[in-house]
Each structure stands twice: as structure tokens, then as C-alpha cells.
Amino acid sequence: MPTLLEQYPALAPMYPFEWENKYEFTWEYGFCKETMTPIIALCAVYCVLCLGGREVMKNFQ
């Protein structure tokens, strides 16, 4: 299975880290189970930062 950058070399500047370059997309059994926890954690952090930023900006007004 080719890596993401092997399939799309133009994306190289967006993914400078080695662990991102070696990331493989697959539909093998267990793929979602292994990858969903970090994805959900990143989404949760993003939501907290967005909502926290809104509150901070409201306090500045």
C-alpha cells in the first residue's frame, strides 16, 4: 500500500513530519479502532479552543 505522499507528492509541504509521511490509508480490520481515538481527541481539543476563544473575545468587548 503506497503512503499518502507517494500517491500525492504535491502534499509534501503540508506534512513535514515523518509519522505523517509514513501514514497509510487502509481499510484493514481494526484501522478505525486504532485511529479514531487520536482523531476524536484532536476534534475535542479544537472545539475547546474555539469555544474558549469565543469566551475570551467576548470578555475583551
Residue with cell 481539543: 45
Q: What is the dihedral of CA 2, 34, 44, 4, to 10 degrees?
A: 0
Of 11 and 54, the structure prediction assigns the larger pLDDT to 54
Query: Considering only 8-12, 23-27, 30-34, 38-42, which range has the smallest mean pLDDT?
Result: 23-27
User: What pTM was computed for the model?
Assistant: 0.43
Average of pLDDT values for 26-50?
A: 80
- What pLDDT is recorded for position 44? 93
